[in-house]
Amino acid sequence: MSERVSLRSVEWSTFQHVNPRGQQEVVIYTTNTNSDYKKCPQSVKVAAFDIDWCLVRPKGMKKYPKDSLDWEWLFPCIPDTLSRLRLEGYEIVMFSNQKLAGRSPKHFFLFQKRTKNFLRFLESWTVLSPVSGVLYRKPSIRLWELYERLFHGGHHVDRVGSIFVGDAAGRKDDFACSDRQFAYNVGCGRISVLF
């Protein structure tokens, strides 16, 4: 299957993964350029995260954010932890099953702006989220494979040395098991589940 990736210039790079029929399948926001990744060592480690109710939550414990400023860290230690992981050589990547299909452009902008607001202190990060269908939704590893192909063509990500942190672990009160299954399917050496 052939694919097309378009890049348009915004405050950071926005990629749109488009299938052969011209349908947008994945939206990717990144502060990195292809030249940044060409400087990477042969094998890199990824610290991967889900976003909502893993890194951030809406203020006041609401289920969904009302605007791009409606967020707070889930735990106070998260900014320092992300910075420390970056200093230890991990690439910071978010894989999120956002419900973007059929939404207005305003919803895309809110997701993009909100993401930028809470990651502004990091110099380097990438966010991938499927737009429609189930092909790229976790627990499928296609989103991870797309990340490897687009940003590390010719180089393998060290999956065993990588970390995935999520909240959907299949416990009694969880809405799903997609995060735990995603980490297992990818082969991450460390899997953390937030409670």
pLDDT at 78: 92
Residue 8 within any structural domain of the chain? no
Domain membership flag for residue 6? no
**Residue 21 placed within a domain:** yes
- Report pLDDT for 6: 38
- Encoding tokens for residue 178? 């997609």
Q: Low-confidence residues of the chain, pLDDT below 50?
A: 1-12, 35, 195
Nearest residue to 32 (alpha-carbon basis) of 130, 136, 125, 103: 125
Return the beta strands (E) in 32-184 as ranges: 45-49, 56-57, 72-73, 90-95, 126-130, 163-166
State residue 49's pLDDT score: 94
CATH of the domain at 155: 3.40.50.1000
Residues with Cβ within 8 Å of residue 176, at least 6 apart in sequence: 168, 170
SS3 87: helix
- The parent domain of residue 112 ranges over 13-33+41-193
- pTM of the predicted protein model: 0.81
Position 156 in a domain: yes
Q: What is the number of structural domains in the chain? A: 1
